[in-house]
């Protein structure tokens, strides 16, 4: 039976991603079967997991997914499952924190390894860890990894302070600027954009290996519950064209797998390479970073003309970045306006950024979809104008009504929301 464990932290920025990647690469290069998963709605970290482990990585979302769905996704694949948490261990959606990695830990009964950024503390590490370990008896903090230690003497001081708690200190990573991960407004710079990714992953693995009690860490992992079966997202067409490149990189693997498993054929293409849209009966433009590639997208005449032609008799659906590309124009951070496809009456801008963030309950008002979804919104675009019929009625994580989302015009539809799963009753 496959085992699993969770890498979590008291807060964002503690080093969870670096530790997770280091562990995945270390075990993978030893020939041990290992795979990663990311808690919550994240498109970027999972691609790093895949590069580190050589195995597919899935998102596991305790807010947006039914418990059966969580178990099914966690149980797909072989080897140790290393789940990277999001934010702090008990941080979730408002108003009550539902969907925190702690919820996932309870649901799958997995142990938590707490990563603590100890760069600016000494003996105070003990009450911090004790507080997290004792906060909820149903969430088992089983070990600690110290990050950002200043010296061997500092690491020893921290270990001494933690000794009375009886929790194993599994490793201590020294402060190292080479382990920093560069980021931009939606998260880390994408894995595919880093020419030095392999050397970074090996360096992180070396740093962890130097102090890791690997046997103790592996002994903490516990069996995953039986996977069972769960409802899947039905394919919106038999042949689905999917945009995929640096500007359209934000698609959930479980969504594409659902479609493929149900018998749909997926045809991938790159708008940035000016590839024409493949013949299909549904076209999917995922989110990504069109604002960084506005000029290239606008100049991709083969892509644009084939997209416009396809819109006459083929359903086109865009999420977030893909939604903006379906609009009339996109203004980048420098204030330059780029002509987009002109299939929706939509103008968006990054000249003045404003963050939009949160889970969404989505109910289709029209268009191809006929079932409700859970989803997520995370972008910095400002909508200058949006004219037409809306796609979704929306509520936030707490159930409060939001303005209708998205647009529909003939066969073309989209919104800023990323669909995660079929709607289900909150736990």
In the set 320, 324, 346, 394, the catalytic residue is 320
> Which has the closest alpha carbon to 320: 383, 401, 237, 271?
383
**Mean pLDDT (the chain, rounded):** 94
328-to-222, 230, 290, 343, 416 alpha-carbon distances in Å: 52, 39, 13, 7, 15
Rounded Cα gap, residues 326 and 312, in angstroms: 14
Rounded Cα gap, residues 115 and 329, in angstroms: 43
Please count the other Cβ atoms lying within 10 Å of the Cβ belonging to residue 178.
10
Mean pLDDT for the stretch of residues 233-255: 96
Rounded Cα gap, residues 134 and 318, in angstroms: 45
Q: Report residue 148 as tokens.
A: 């950002």
User: What pLDDT, on the 0 to 100 scale, is given for residue 189?
Assistant: 65
User: What pLDDT, on the 0 to 100 scale, is given for residue 184?
Assistant: 44
pLDDT at 306 over 90: yes
pLDDT 10s digits, 271-300: 999 999 999 999 999 999 999 999 999 999
pLDDT at 60 over 50: yes
User: What pLDDT, on the 0 to 100 scale, is given for residue 76?
Assistant: 86
Angle at 137 between CA 140 and CA 8, to 5 degrees: 35
| pLDDT confidence tier of residue 190, bands split at 50, 70 and 90 | low
pLDDT at 54 over 90: yes
- Residue 100 · residue 90 · CB < 8 Å: yes
What is the residue extent of each domain of the chain? Answer: 3-223, 239-422
| pLDDT confidence tier of residue 427, bands split at 50, 70 and 90 | very low
pLDDT 10s digits, 321-338: 999 999 999 999 999 999
Span of 180-189, 212-221, 342-351 with lowest mean pLDDT:
180-189
Q: Report residue 225 as tokens.
A: 């519950």
Decide if domain 239-422 falls under CATH 3.40.50.880: yes
Rounded Cα gap, residues 412 and 132, in angstroms: 48
| pLDDT confidence tier of residue 352, bands split at 50, 70 and 90 | confident
User: What pLDDT, on the 0 to 100 scale, is given for residue 55?
Assistant: 96
Instruction: Determine phi and psi for 348, rounding to 5 degrees.
Output: -125, 155
pLDDT 10s digits, 35-51: 999 999 998 899 999 99
Please count the other Cβ atoms lying within 10 Å of the Cβ belonging to residue 90.
16
Q: Do domains 3-223 and 239-422 have the same CATH topology?
A: yes
pLDDT at 269 over 90: yes
Residue 320: active-site member? yes
User: What pLDDT, on the 0 to 100 scale, is given for residue 182?
Assistant: 64
pLDDT 10s digits, 194-232: 778 899 999 999 999 999 999 999 999 999 988 878 889
Angle at 334 between CA 333 and CA 337, to 5 degrees: 90
Share of the chain above pLDDT 90, in %: 87
pTM of the model: 0.93
- Residue 291 · residue 322 · CB < 8 Å: no
* CATH (residue range 3-223): 3.40.50.300
pLDDT at 192 over 70: no
Rounded Cα gap, residues 35 and 37, in angstroms: 7
User: What pLDDT, on the 0 to 100 scale, is given for residue 279?
Assistant: 97
- For 131, what's the count of Cα atoms within 13 Å in the CB-facing half-sphere? 10
| pLDDT confidence tier of residue 425, bands split at 50, 70 and 90 | low
Span of 168-182, 236-250, 321-335, 389-403 with lowest mean pLDDT:
168-182
| pLDDT confidence tier of residue 187, bands split at 50, 70 and 90 | low
What sign does the dihedral 75-78-82-87 (CA atoms) show? negative
């Amino acid at each position: 039976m496959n085992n699993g464990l969770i890498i979590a932290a008291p807060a964002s920025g503690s080093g969870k991603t670096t530790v997770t990647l280091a562990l995945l690469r270390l075990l993978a290069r030893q020939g041990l079967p290992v795979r990663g998963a990311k808690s919550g709605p994240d498109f970027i970290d999972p691609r790093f997991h895949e590069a580190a482990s050589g195995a597919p990585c899935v998102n596991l979302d305790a807010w947006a997914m039914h418990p059966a769905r969580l178990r099914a996704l966690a149980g797909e694949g072989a080897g140790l499952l290393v789940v990277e948490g999001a934010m702090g261990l008990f941080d979730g959606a408002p108003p009550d924190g539902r969907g925190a990695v702690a919820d996932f830990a309870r649901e799958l009964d997995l142990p938590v390894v707490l990563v603590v950024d100890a760069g600016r503390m000494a003996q105070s590490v003990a009450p911090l860890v004790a507080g997290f370990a004792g906060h909820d008896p149903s969430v088992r903090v089983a070990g600690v990894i110290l990050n950002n230690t200043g010296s061997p003497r500092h690491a020893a001081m921290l270990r001494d302070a933690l000794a009375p708690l009886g929790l194993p200190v599994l490793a201590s990573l020294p402060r190292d600027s080479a382990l920093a991960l560069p980021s931009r407004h939606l998260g880390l710079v994408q894995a595919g954009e880093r020419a030095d990714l392999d050397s970074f992953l090996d360096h992180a693995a070396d740093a962890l290996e130097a102090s890791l009690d690997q046997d103790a860490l592996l002994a903490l992992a516990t069996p995953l519950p039986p996977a069972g079966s769960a409802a899947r997202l039905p394919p919106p067409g038999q042949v689905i064209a999917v945009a995929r490149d640096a500007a359209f990189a934000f698609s959930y693997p479980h969504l594409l797998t659902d479609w493929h498993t149900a018998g749909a054929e997926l045809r991938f293409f790159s708008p940035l390479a000016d590839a024409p849209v493949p013949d299909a009966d549904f076209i999917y433009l995922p989110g990504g970073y069109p604002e960084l590639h506005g000029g290239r997208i606008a100049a991709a005449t083969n892509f644009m003309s084939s997209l416009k032609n396809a819109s006459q008799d083929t359903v086109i659906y865009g999420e977030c970045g893909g939604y903006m590309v379906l609009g009339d124009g996109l203004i980048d951070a420098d204030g330059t306006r780029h002509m987009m496809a002109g299939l929706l009456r939509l103008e968006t801008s990054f000249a003045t950024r404003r963050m939009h963030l949160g889970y969404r309950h989505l109910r289709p008002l029209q268009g191809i979809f006929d079932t409700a979804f859970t989803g997520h919104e995370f972008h910095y675009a400002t909508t200058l104008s949006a004219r037409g019929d809306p796609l979704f009625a929306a509520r936030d994580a707490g159930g409060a009504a939001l303005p209708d989302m998205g647009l529909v015009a003939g066969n073309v539809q989209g919104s800023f929301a990323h669909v995660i799963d079929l709607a289900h009753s909150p736990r």
